Structure 1
Amino acid sequence: MRRPQLAWAKRLTVLIAAVASVLGVSAVNGPAANAAVYGSCSTSGCSDAASANSTWSDLGYPTARGWYDWPDGECSYAGGEFYNNDGQLPSGDTFYEYDVYPRACGAHRDAYRIVVDSNTGVVWYSPDHYTDFYQL
């Protein structure tokens, strides 16, 4: 029996998702529409996020996407520009995203991010890939 052919758009979507998965890149770059934003950070992981922020700051907050050498011999990923598509963070500003936890270069990324407002220097921690934001 012949399998039904996928429409070209569906095949393209599957291909993009597969490539993004292999590269460790999320196909979704914006926060959830119902993201919560908190003016302070009082959840677990805040101290780890602050420590990661300090290291990223020491590296000059690189804006190019990619793996960067971390002080302990591992790597961490700078995700490039964060587009704030749902407007949870201040509108009109430019943001960059960075992983919180280092790992081996090229390893699968987790959901923990910091987002830096390059206009104001304010840093946000998201422990759940942009569902919640906590200001550091």
Structure 2
Amino acid sequence: MRRPHLPWAKRSAVLIAAIASVLSVSAVNSPAANAAVYSSCSIDGCSDAASANSTWSDLGYPTTRGWVDWPNGQCSYAGGEYYNNDGQLPSGDTFYEYDVYPRTCGAHRDAYRIVVDSDTGAVWYSPDHYSDFYQL
């Protein structure tokens, strides 16, 4: 059976869309396999991450994904379980991820996260959506 002939412009557009889709899914859903993990945090944003962690702790570290009312009338997002698929953090533990910076409920999320080890209480700050981790 012969496939229908598509004009070169349409074939190119379909190919580009398919490649972009694959690249965007892998970039968003997969942390960098070569992520660096640091035992302390002294970069810009560490104090903001520590402050966010204090608020999340006061809220009992929610474990379900969703928007959470923040003290200043804004919201912040609890991302649910962080699966540590690439093994940058201690293996065998359970982790949950939280946004650092509050915003209006439903607004676009940025790349700044804290990840909490629910087994040990250790907390890491990731300023670049899991490419690097700095322990708070």
1:35 aligned partner, one-letter code: A
Per the alignment, residue 67 of structure 1 pairs with 67
- The whole-number CA distance in structure 1 between the counterparts of 2:14 and 2:127 is 36
- The whole-number CA distance in structure 2 between the counterparts of 1:81 and 1:6 is 35
Per the alignment, residue 127 of structure 1 pairs with 127
Task: Give the gaps of 5 or more residues in structure 2.
Answer: 1-5
> What SS does the aligned partner of 1:110 have?
coil
Q: Structure 1 length normalisation: TM-score? A: 0.82
Per the alignment, residue 52 of structure 1 pairs with 52
Per the alignment, residue 77 of structure 1 pairs with 77
**Superposition pairs of residues 1-136 of structure 1, within 5 angstroms:** 3=10, 14=21, 27-28=28-29, 30-136=30-136
- The whole-number CA distance in structure 2 between the counterparts of 1:124 and 1:31 is 14
- What do residues 83-107 of structure 1 show as CA deviations (whole Å, max 9, x unaligned)? 1010000000000000000000000
- What do residues 28-49 of structure 1 show as CA deviations (whole Å, max 9, x unaligned)? 1x42111000000010100000
Aligned length: 123
- What do residues 78-130 of structure 1 show as CA deviations (whole Å, max 9, x unaligned)? 00000101000000000000000000000000000000000000000000000
C-alpha RMSD of the superposition: 2.3
Between the two proteins, what is the percent identity of the paired residues? Answer: 77
> What SS does the aligned partner of 2:128 have?
coil
> What SS does the aligned partner of 1:55 have?
helix
Q: Which has the larger radius of gyration?
A: 2
Confirm or deny: 8 A CA contact 1:65 1:78 kept in the other structure. yes
1:89 aligned partner, one-letter code: L
Task: Give the gaps of 5 or more residues in structure 1.
Answer: 21-25
> What SS does the aligned partner of 2:124 have?
strand
1:6 CA displacement? 5.7
Confirm or deny: 8 A CA contact 1:68 1:76 kept in the other structure. yes
Where does structure 1 differ by over 4 angstroms across 4 or more consecutive aligned residues? 1-7
